[in-house]
């Protein structure tokens, strides 16, 4: 073989080895890319939420419990999962949904201290029927009752509460008025009651009147309780209100009255002021 032929053969071998090396490099790159792809999460899986993601409030079947948003004053309130329950526990720890409005509000056929047919004369149907029976029972015993205020919308309660805060400050207002969403009046199951003459209506002097004494002794027979009993402020969060009645049904009302307890204690709930 002459010198020219040897040089050509050498160039062909060099080119061959170069092609082989390039091919190996390409194959290695493709294998690495494939492995990276298969290491990713399979389609259809969900990545874990970020630390800043907020979970939706959980709901429970209990009348007064669900998720717990901040109440804006350092504590928490549970948003009630079943606001339509007759036995619903509404207090400073358990609030109604902002958009809740009872679907069965009616005008009970009982006297009120005013003539207008407005919202605060309404109650839920079952409670209204029981109220009519109670007023009839009181009348038969020589006691004449009158309604002062029943249902309030969330908007009305907010307006009232804001006014009380402006007048007396937040701390004092919280002892006698409910933060919007935590008022029993928003349930349509509560009513403030007085004598038919309107004296001492929704004020401390109502305590000890014949009307207050009759209600304390007979309200439970019709499914109502004195919601904020005397001496139970540390449990209910409110001062004594002998005029504030709450409908819970005869069975629960009878049990609460016979045991001398509050609605919080009936449900074994944590005292409001703890």
User: Catalytic site residues?
Assistant: 241
* Sign of the alpha-carbon dihedral angle for 76, 81, 82, 84: positive
* Element at 226 (helix H, strand E): strand 224-228
Dist. CA 166–CA 211, nearest whole Å: 32
Dist. CA 223–CA 220, nearest whole Å: 5
Dist. CA 155–CA 252, nearest whole Å: 30
Is residue 105 classed exposed, middle or buried when 0-12, 13-18 and 19+ CB atoms within 10 A define those classes? middle
| Cα pseudo-dihedral 214, 215, 218, 219, rounded to 10 | 170
| Cα pseudo-dihedral 103, 109, 113, 119, rounded to 10 | 20
What is the number of other CB atoms lying within 10 angstroms of the CB of residue 202? 17
Dist. CA 179–CA 173, nearest whole Å: 9
Tell me 70's DSSP state: B
CA neighbor of 243 nearest in space, from 211, 271, 197: 211
Cβ–Cβ under 8 Å, residues 154 and 186: yes
């Amino acid at each position: 073989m002459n010198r020219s032929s040897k040089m050509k053969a050498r160039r062909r071998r060099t080119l061959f080895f170069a092609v082989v090396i390039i091919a190996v490099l390409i194959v290695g790159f493709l294998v690495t890319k494939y492995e990276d792809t298969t290491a990713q999460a399979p389609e259809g899986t969900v990545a874990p939420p970020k630390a800043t993601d907020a979970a939706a409030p959980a709901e429970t079947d209990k009348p007064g419990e669900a998720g717990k948003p901040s109440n804006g004053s350092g504590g928490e309130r549970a948003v009630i999962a079943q606001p339509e329950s007759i036995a619903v526990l509404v207090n400073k720890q358990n609030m109604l949904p902002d958009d809740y409005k009872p679907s069965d509000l009616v005008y009970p056929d009982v006297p009120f201290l005013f003539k207008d047919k407005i919202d605060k004369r309404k109650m839920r149907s079952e409670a209204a029927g029981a109220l009519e029976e109670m007023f009839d029972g009181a009348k038969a015993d020589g006691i004449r009752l009158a309604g002062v205020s029943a249902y309030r919308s969330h908007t009305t309660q907010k307006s009232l509460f804001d006014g009380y805060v402006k007048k007396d400050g937040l701390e004092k207002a919280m002892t006698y008025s409910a933060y919007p969403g935590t008022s029993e009046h928003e349930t349509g199951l509560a009513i403030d009651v007085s004598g038919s003459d309107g004296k001492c209506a929704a004020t401390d002097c109502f305590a000890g009147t014949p009307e207050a004494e009759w209600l304390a002794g007979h309200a439970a027979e019709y499914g109502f309780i004195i919601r904020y009993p005397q001496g139970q402020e540390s449990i209910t969060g409110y001062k004594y209100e002998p005029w504030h009645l709450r409908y819970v049904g005869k069975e629960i009302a009878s049990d609460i009255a016979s045991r001398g307890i509050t609605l919080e204690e009936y449900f074994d709930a944590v005292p409001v002021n703890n």
